[in-house]
Amino acid sequence: MLEVVKEDTRKWKDKRWRLFPGKVTTFKIGAALFYDYAGFTLDANSKRQADSAGYVVESQFKLRDFRFLLSGQFKTKRTISWKAGIMYDGVTDAWFIRETGIMINVPELWGNFFIGRTKEGFSLNKVMNAAAGWGMERQTAIDVIPILADGIKWLGYLPKTRILWNVGVYTDWLSETQSFSTYRWQTVARIGWLPIYSQVDKTVLHLAFNYRYGRPDDDVIQLRSRPESNPAPFFIDTDKISTNSSTHLGGEAYYSNGPWMFGSEYYVHQINSPETANRVFYGGDVAASYILTGESRPYSTASGIYGFIPVARPVFKGGPGAWEIVLRYSTYDLDDGPIHGGRFWKITPMVNWYLSKELRFELAYGYGVLDRFNLKGATQFFQARVQVTLL
């Protein structure tokens, strides 16, 4: 997410090779790369489930994605910034346009307007930069929400009451052929409150409510999810469901204090069908994180999300880097009435080593149980990632 703030010229010295002042706008070049390893051990029931579903679970090394990022700020009286992104997706072996558009600061309306292709604004974990997240992948229960959308989004924050929000309206006029575009149109609202917010004490209590309503393409929707491992196939899958609209509700609760962070998100997805009874699916996660080297994960009121961990003592300057331990439990239920997409839960302990603000290594072990095809199968996950970010 590109925050609309005045650029800090102190940063230019460190990034001068990819920052340019320009006459009309500043210009910054960025990039990110994610490379994964995923190994799997399936018990007998898990193997039978894979055979029944027709997918293959194979241990592999895989390029998750690679992206170029451009951004800048126009030299105008009103703060107007822009960004553009293009990404190679390892899953589909294709290139597509990522977040691209302009952000206009409108203090008269307590915030900013983003116009273009952006994240809808549903779920803190979905909105925040994937490279800044504590886990390798987002929880399974928000996979049904498209990662991007084209439209307009209003982001705001009231410092006195510590209330924040984003409200967006989106269509598929430009994105209809993109794989992420599964809706004709959708509206999204996210409203949050910070009962506790102290930059000095590095303490945040974040509470938020999410609402989303939309019309799926071709009046069908398919809910499915990978088991929080990008190289893995879809473990749970409803197949196509006839629907004229869908409604999504959810809550967020996060507390961070110094190196500690605890958080949870829970979501309910209702598929509205004119032919049969409405179907409801639900899931969520609980996560805890502790940074052993003492750094704190920063929080942004501009968009109501957590940012990148600052590395106080990078490895390349003789320090230990930043070390983070994480534990997450997640669950997703795609069974309702005659629809048997499966139920899945997973617990994942992991370690993140931030050698510098640009380089991160991740190691994770996961244990997941799938209830599908009248079988309960267990899978062990062995995951690793190298992440390079120049942002």
The span from the CA of 78 to the CA of 191, in Å, is 26
Do residues 261 and 297 lie in contact, with contact meaning Cβ atoms separated by under 8 Å? yes
Looking at the domain assignment, is residue 250 inside a domain?
A: yes
Q: What is the DSSP string of 95-164?
A: EEE-SEEEEEEEGGGTEEEEEEEE-----HHHHS-GGG-SSSS--GGGTTS-S-EEEEEEEEEETTTTEE
Q: What is the pLDDT along the chain (391 residues), one digit of tens a residue?
A: 344 444 444 444 455 567 898 899 999 999 999 999 999 999 999 999 999 999 999 999 999 999 999 999 999 999 999 999 999 999 889 999 999 999 999 999 999 999 999 999 999 999 999 999 999 999 999 988 998 999 999 999 999 999 999 999 999 988 888 878 899 999 999 999 999 999 999 999 999 999 999 999 999 999 999 999 999 999 999 999 999 999 999 999 999 999 999 999 999 999 998 777 899 999 999 999 999 999 999 999 999 999 999 999 999 999 999 999 999 999 999 999 999 999 999 999 999 999 999 999 999 999 999 999 999 999 999 999 999 999 8
Q: What is the pLDDT of residue 13?
A: 47
Looking at the domain assignment, is residue 327 inside a domain?
A: no
Tell me the residue range of the domain where 105 lies: 9-32+56-74+94-320
Do residues 144 and 210 lie in contact, with contact meaning Cβ atoms separated by under 8 Å? no
318: left (phi over 0), alpha (psi -120 to 50) or beta: left
218 Cβ contact partners less than 8 Å away, ≥ 6 residues apart: none
Q: Which two tokens stand for residue 93?
A: 């072996």
Q: What is the pLDDT of residue 170?
A: 97
Looking at the domain assignment, is residue 119 inside a domain?
A: yes
Looking at the domain assignment, is residue 357 inside a domain?
A: no
Q: Which two tokens stand for residue 346?
A: 């997973």
Outline where the chain has alpha helix (H): 44-53, 124-127
Q: What is the pLDDT of residue 2?
A: 40
Looking at the domain assignment, is residue 213 inside a domain?
A: yes
Phi then psi dihedrals of residue 182, to 5 deg: -115, 5
Looking at the domain assignment, is residue 277 inside a domain?
A: yes
Phi then psi dihedrals of residue 10, to 5 deg: -65, -25
Domain count along the chain = 1
Looking at the domain assignment, is residue 84 inside a domain?
A: no
Looking at the domain assignment, is residue 331 inside a domain?
A: no
CATH label of the domain that carries residue 276: 2.40.160.10
